Amino acid sequence: MRRAFMALVLYSLAAAAQHIGENRPQSGADSTPIFKSGALLVVETVAVTDKSGKPIEGLTAKDFTITEDVVPQAIKIFEYQRLSDVAPPAPLTESEHARVYDKLGRTRISGGTPGDTRYKDRRLLALYFDMTAMPESDQVRALSAALKFIRTQMTAQDMVAILRYSGGSVEVLEDFTADRNRLMSIVQTLIVGEGQGFGRSTDEAADPGAAFGQDDSEFNIFNTDRQLSALQTAAQMLAQLSEKKALVYFASGLRLNGLNNQAQLRATVNAAIRAGVAFWPIDARGLVALPPLGDATQGSPGSAAMYSGVAMTSLTTNFQRSQDTLYSLAADTGGKALLDTNDLERGIVQAEQSVSSYYVIGYYASNKAQDGKFRRIKVALNDAEAKLDYRQGYFAGKIFAKFTSADKERQLEDALMLPDPITELTIAMEIDYFQINRAEYFVPLVVKIPGRELALAKRGGAERTSIDFIGEIKDSFGSTITNVRDKVRAKLTDATAQELARRPIVYDAGFTLLPGQYTIKLLARDDETGRIGTFQTTFTVPNLNKIDKNVPISSVVLSSQRIDLKDALYNALKNKTETSNPLVRNGQKIIPSVTRVFSRKNDMYVYLQAYQHDDAPARPLVAYVTFYREGEKVSETRPIQTSGSQAPGRLKSIPMEFRVPLTELPPGRYDCQISVLDPDGHKAAFWQAPVVFLQ
């Protein structure tokens, strides 16, 4: 699918504003001073054991000394988590285990609140399945190991969460729970083979017998970054819990591409350390035999390298590198990787046994600088001699003004993977559809952001605003169909900069899609402050070819403004004519209202298209607009008659456009109805939506 156009538009001074909320800035006399202060709470989980490895209990906050970069810190939070050795309960029998859900649900990791003892003296294990990094056979082994652990090894003190990454976002399928029936039902409902097609291409692929030019190694860089970024998102989801967490990571190896993935690897490890999460990777491939000429899963290399030993050496090296990354993730976060064994359940048991009784110690850092630098922590006992196990430090947060280009890009990708929306910026969106041929539909996307929520920066003596956009469209199966990625920089004059504080700006893009149900998620970020807004919704592109009893029509666009293309502040295709966009007519673009709130001082534009799919010549259609208020008809436009092209055997598109004066209609709420009649074909179509008219 292809993207057709992108543009960012600021309304001209003479045009009517469509307000989103109140845009009344406070005057200097009425403004109230606002004082802000912040504190960084640092939480450490400290395991204290004697020479024999047994936990030492009964210690108080006065027994500990904690320093950050050699500066003593005052302990404000102190709690002991007692995890005794409890034998696993009897395994669930088939009769005891009942399926709870018929399909997977979606939830979130619920953080602890003051006074909440839900996680007190509990062991927290998160089972994370990277479906993009495992072929179907490895997925079967991973799910079987998880089921066996839940059925036979999970103790009464264990609470298990289930997370999945299938190529689009990290999904929490089940929050931490001790209900074994519930957990088994979730694991059994996971679909084997889901997420395939997002994984990497291997260097050992069979020779296809043709030259394709550059290989896939450059794409493997992005695949690895995306897998590490998803793992980072999972760690950040667990950060809201102060308890010790172990994340069991099922994957079929994870190979870095030289130094290209080092930045994302470091960011993932840092996020896990800050969140108090230890990675316990499990290589779902198990114990692998590497035949010199390859196995039956792939074709023969078909070159001299298979006889000289070069192919075997390369195969072994790549396999070891894929395990080295798993080993590094575990070693850097306090976990342990399970490699080269078919007993995958043992890896979960090791993660379970690693979490023993520990102390939760919290303090407010005296260094409040958000510089992103590493802070070294040292915890010591004042009197007793014991072994202390804790994280040795953390990386401080970083304010957006100090973000590098890589930090900014990573922030957007992390936000895109989060299941919950971010509402720092207000976003309104409208999605329409217009048929362009027998199979394809043009889908224009319009986003509005209140201008008052964007920050301006003085650069070179001029006002500028900068907005980042990132988004993706997925089909009903969760596969990404197309995406949006834009960085918009707009230079404003003094007049338009003042207007920006009172009026919204519009960003629009267009796509070509097939009929079906889709989900779109779009993020906008003010590049001056780092504030992000998310808009996510589902929409349907209908198959108008199957409509026989009614007149097939497109979406109905309501607008109060038409602008010249040359007036756009930003246009990705400024020198090209947007011929594929039906909202562009005679060099002017119709800007959809989105909010459907109109000022009575301006006219309302109505635009739609009707279609005739038969081979007969185009028949004339009649259309008119009616306004209802509380069920009573208030006003109706004069009917218009129009017809499309006369070419037989092709899609006949019939555009319809109205210009409706609103001065004679009182302010208030109305129902706007569009009626399209086909007198010769004895068909009709009706569309209705609520609108608001302001004084």
Q: Give the pLDDT confidence score for residue 281 in this predicted structure.
A: 94
Give the integer Cα–Cα distance in Å for 222 and 228.
10
Q: Which residues of the chain have pLDDT under 70?
A: 1-38, 85-106, 112-116, 167-168, 193-222, 258-260, 291-309, 311, 457-462, 495-497, 499, 501, 565-580, 644-650
Residues 6+ apart with CB under 8 A from 245: 124, 125, 126, 238, 275, 276, 277, 278
| Cα dihedral 256/259/264/267 (nearest 10) | 120
Q: What are the tens digits of pLDDT across the range 481-499?
A: 888 888 877 777 776 667 6
As given in the structure block, the two tokens for residue 285 are 């491939």
Report the phi/psi class of residue 565: left, alpha or beta, with left for phi > 0 and alpha for psi in -120 to 50. Answer: alpha
Give the integer Cα–Cα distance in Å for 268 and 329.
9
Give the integer Cα–Cα distance in Å for 653 and 139.
49
**80 C-beta neighbours (distance < 10 Å), count:** 16
DSSP state of 264: H
**513 C-beta neighbours (distance < 10 Å), count:** 19
Give the integer Cα–Cα distance in Å for 672 and 138.
56
CATH number for 123-197+220-356 (one of 3.40.50.720, 3.40.190.10, 3.30.70.990, 3.40.50.410): it is 3.40.50.410
3-state DSSP of 385-421: CCEEECCCEEECCECHHHCCHHHHHHHHHHHHHCCCC
**Helix 136-148 vs helix 180-189: angle between axes, to the nearest 10 degrees?**
170
Residues 6+ apart with CB under 8 A from 290: 312, 315, 316, 319
Total residue count of the chain as it appears in this document: 695
Give the integer Cα–Cα distance in Å for 469 and 532.
10
Q: Give the pLDDT confidence score for residue 315 in this predicted structure.
A: 73
Q: What are the tens digits of pLDDT across the range 525-565?
A: 988 888 888 888 899 999 999 888 899 999 999 998 887 76
Angle at 424 (CA atoms; ends 421, 595), nearest 5 degrees: 80
Give the integer Cα–Cα distance in Å for 543 and 517.
11
Torsion sign (Cα): 296, 302, 306, 311: negative
Q: Residue 635: how many CA atoms within 13 Å on its side-chain side?
A: 12
Q: What are the tens digits of pLDDT across the range 292-314?
A: 666 666 666 666 666 666 767 77
Q: Give the pLDDT confidence score for residue 136 in this predicted structure.
A: 87
153: nearest Cα among 94, 97, 88: 88
Query: Is 69 in contact with 156 (CB distance < 8 Å)?
Result: no
As given in the structure block, the two tokens for residue 469 are 């956009």
Give the integer Cα–Cα distance in Å for 601 and 19.
14
DSSP state of 565: G
Q: Residues of CATH 3.40.50.410 domain(s) within the chain?
A: 123-197+220-356
> 44-70: b or e for each residue (b if 16 or more CB lie within 10 Å)?
bbbbbbeeeeebbeebeeebbebebee
Query: Is 559 in contact with 589 (CB distance < 8 Å)?
Result: no
What DSSP letter does each residue of 405-467 carry, written as one string? HHHHHHHHHHHHH-SS--BSS--EEEE--EE-SSS-EEEEEEEEEEGGGS--EEETTEEEEEE
Give the integer Cα–Cα distance in Å for 353 and 368.
36
What DSSP letter does each residue of 479-532 carry, written as one string? -EEEEEEEEEEEEE-HHHHHHHTTSEEEEEEEEEE-SEEEEEEEEEEETTT--E
Q: For the chain, how big is the Rg over CA atoms in Å? A: 30
According to DSSP, the residues that pair with 541 across neighbouring strands are: 516
- Burial of residue 238 (number of CB atoms within 10 Å: 0-12, 13-18, 19+): buried
What DSSP letter does each residue of 135-202 carry, written as one string? -HHHHHHHHHHHHHIIIII--TTEEEEEEEE-SS-EEEEEEEE--HHHHHHHHHHSPTTTTTTSSPPP
As given in the structure block, the two tokens for residue 443 are 């889908």
DSSP H helix total and E strand total for the chain: 9, 35
Query: Is 497 in contact with 488 (CB distance < 8 Å)?
Result: no
Query: Is 237 in contact with 172 (CB distance < 8 Å)?
Result: yes
Q: Give the pLDDT confidence score for residue 627 in this predicted structure.
A: 94
Query: Is 319 in contact with 290 (CB distance < 8 Å)?
Result: yes
Q: Give the pLDDT confidence score for residue 296 in this predicted structure.
A: 61
Torsion sign (Cα): 203, 208, 211, 212: negative
Q: Give the pLDDT confidence score for residue 222 in this predicted structure.
A: 65
Give the integer Cα–Cα distance in Å for 24 and 29.
14
Q: What are the tens digits of pLDDT across the range 440-491?
A: 999 998 888 887 777 776 665 567 778 889 989 998 888 888 888 888 777 7
364: nearest Cα among 28, 37, 104, 639: 37
- Rounded to an integer, what is the distance from CA 27 to the centroid of its chain? 38
Report the chain's terminal Cα–Cα distance, integer Å.
43
Consecutive H or E run containing 613: none
431: nearest Cα among 359, 338, 539, 275: 539
**Helix 217-238 vs helix 405-417: angle between axes, to the nearest 10 degrees?**
70
Residues 6+ apart with CB under 8 A from 566: none
- Rounded to an integer, what is the distance from CA 667 to the centroid of its chain? 40
**132 C-beta neighbours (distance < 10 Å), count:** 22
**435 C-beta neighbours (distance < 10 Å), count:** 25
Q: Give the pLDDT confidence score for residue 410 in this predicted structure.
A: 79
Consecutive H or E run containing 593: none
